Structure 1
Amino acid sequence: MSNTVKILLAEDEPSLGQIIKESLETRNFEVLLCVNGEEAYKVYKQENPLLLVLDVMMPKKDGFTLAKEIRQENPTIPIIFLTAKSQTEDVVQGFNLGGNDYLKKPFSMEELIVRINALLKRGQNEISSEIIPLGEYVFNLKKQTLTFHNTTENLTHREANLLYYLIKNKNQVLERSFILKKLWGDDDFFNARSMDVFITKLRKKLKSDPAIQIINVRGFGYKLIY
């Protein structure tokens, strides 16, 4: 399953949920199927999927409420809403809450797959092209370089991605479990020790600007401040 893309699907109609799950799994997606919004939020926190497919009308917590909560924590994860509603104001509400796309039931599986792939590709392109000012440094994620004035230093792939997530969550705690699962694939003890080493390396590479700090928030993770 290492080459699969993990998707969270929240759909309270059992038959439809199973059809979507099985169809996506034939296209090399790993699908986490949930039947209500509360369950979906717990699974999201535990599994860190790359994309969300959320039914709007669900018990315990509807798709709009779920999306709003997740958007406060993760402003970039792609979200597709599924709904039987067809009123314009419902579509507008979905986009205002951070939805990236909207499919009205009934829909074809091919259309859903095309939209999923388009959002995933768009997200990769946005990340890979970013050149990010970082204090007195310039961070280029695509080239995996860190430039201080006229001096450029190369980063490893993992260093570059770890720094990217720290920057995207600047002045907020980047949860240890989240980043370990995202970049190492598992949050076990040995991977955690490996991440500590990478954090130390990044601190050394950023030491020329004393305004930049990577703080260890004991028991939770790390926070980048600048």
Structure 2
Amino acid sequence: MSTRLLIVEDDENLRETLADFLELEDFIVEQAATVAEAKPILESATIDLAVLDIMLPDGDGYELSQWIRNQSIETRILMLTARGLEKDVVEGFESGADDYVSKPYRSKELLMRIKALLRRPVAVVETNTIEINGRTVDWRSMTAKYNDDELHLTSRAFSILKLLLEHKNEVLSREAILDACWGKDVYVDNRTIDNFISNLKKQFDLTHDNSYYIKSVRGVGYCLMNERKNT
């Protein structure tokens, strides 16, 4: 079965050029110039990967990405945009994107990114809320509570927690966490990631005594385990 992609880009020349390139690589390519055009395609067709521009005439790629995740539409999301500042990259991942590529881009590198994403399982948070060891996380409002007391998490901490949940029982390297939550080619000391993980463990009591716990894999990274505990 052929792989179906959706390009959401308001610049017709850029959209057509990318579509032609991807069709030569044997992908079926759907196109949309606006959020309004993209939504019916996403709802009615199986799209394996959506390539989203951020700046669109009737909204932006962040909103569309968040809408896709809230609708539990099973597609991978790649942001392709001229906005390459760190805060833009972070916002892209927080909205639910799986990867983020800045313009101008190299066609072959973009193709490799797309193929790599297609090998990964689709990341979908099925509900807006989840309970983790008695703490309630609301993804839509980006809040977390324990016994009605709010837990103070940064947007980066939410991104890391979401990534770990989407890949629960799977070991993630520090490099994978860095690429997903800070962006590729961004230098962050490994100790920074370790500190975020340490804080999450404390706030959510992610120890072996609970159903959710974080396992450290020496020299590799971290794994969020989810097991039923005997009561």
TM-score by length of 1: 0.52
Shift in Å, 1:112: 1.3
8 Å contact from structure 2 (residues 52, 78) kept in 1:
yes
CA shift digits 1:52-99 (9 cap, x unpaired): 100011111211111100101226521000111121111000001111
Contact 2:54-2:60 at 8 Å conserved across structures: yes
1:124-170 Cα offsets, whole Å, 9 max, x none, are 8x9xxxxxxxxxxxxxxxxxxxxxxxxxxxxxxxxxxxxxxxxxxxx
- Counterpart code for 2:38: A
Partner of 1:39: 37
What SS is found at the alignment partner of 2:116? helix
- What's the C-alpha RMSD, in Å, of the aligned pairs? 1.6
Instruction: State, as a whole percentage, how many aligned pairs show the same letter.
Output: 35
CA deviation map 1:162-186 (0-9, x unaligned):
xxxxxxxxxxxxxxxxxxxxxxxxx
Secondary structure of 1:102 counterpart: strand
C-alpha separation in 2, matches of 1:12 and 1:75: 22
For residues 115 and 27 of structure 2, the distance between their equivalents in structure 1, rounded to whole angstroms, comes to 11
In the other structure, the counterpart of 1:117 is: 115
Q: Larger helix proportion, structure 1 or 2? A: 1
Instruction: Tell me what 1:146 maps to.
Output: none
Give the aligned partner of residue 89 of structure 1: 87
1:6 paired to 2:4: yes
Structure 2 letter corresponding to 1:85: R
User: Which one of the candidate residues 103, 106, 116 is aligned to 1:108?
Assistant: 106
1:60 matched to 2:58? The reply is yes
Partner of residue 69 from structure 2, selected from 58, 68, 71: 71
Mapped partners of 1:8, 1:75: distance in 2 = 13
Larger radius of gyration: 1
Question: 2 CA distance for matches of 1:111 and 1:4?
Answer: 21
Alignment partners' CA distance in 1, 2:12 and 2:97: 23
In structure 2, C-alpha distance between the alignment counterparts of 1:15 and 1:122, rounded to whole Å: 30
Deviation at 1:46, TM superposition (A): 1.5
Q: Structure 2-normalised TM-score? A: 0.51
Q: Secondary structure at the match of 1:42?
A: helix
C-alpha distance in structure 2 between counterparts of 1:76 and 1:4, whole Å: 16
Unaligned runs of at least 5 residues, structure 1: 127-226
Structure 1 CA distance for aligned equivalents of residues 11 and 31 of structure 2 = 11
How far, CA to CA, are the matches of 1:63 and 1:43 in structure 2?
A: 15
Q: Distance in 1 between matches of 2:44 and 2:68?
A: 13
Which stretches of structure 1, 4 residues or longer, exceed 3 Å deviation after superposition?
Answer: none
> Is the Cα–Cα contact under 8 Å of residues 43 and 73 in structure 2 kept in the other structure?
no
Question: How many residues matched?
Answer: 123
* CA–CA separation in structure 2 for the residues paired with 1:33 and 1:104: 19
SS of the counterpart of 2:96? coil
Q: What corresponds to 1:19 in structure 2?
A: 17
Q: Assess, with a 3 A threshold, how the Cα gap between structure 1 residues 75 and 42 changes in structure 2: closer, same or farther.
A: closer
Taking a change above 3 Å as real, the CA distance of residues 75 and 96 of structure 1, as seen in their structure-2 partners, is farther
Amino acid at match of 1:42: P
Secondary structure at the counterpart of residue 106 of structure 1: coil
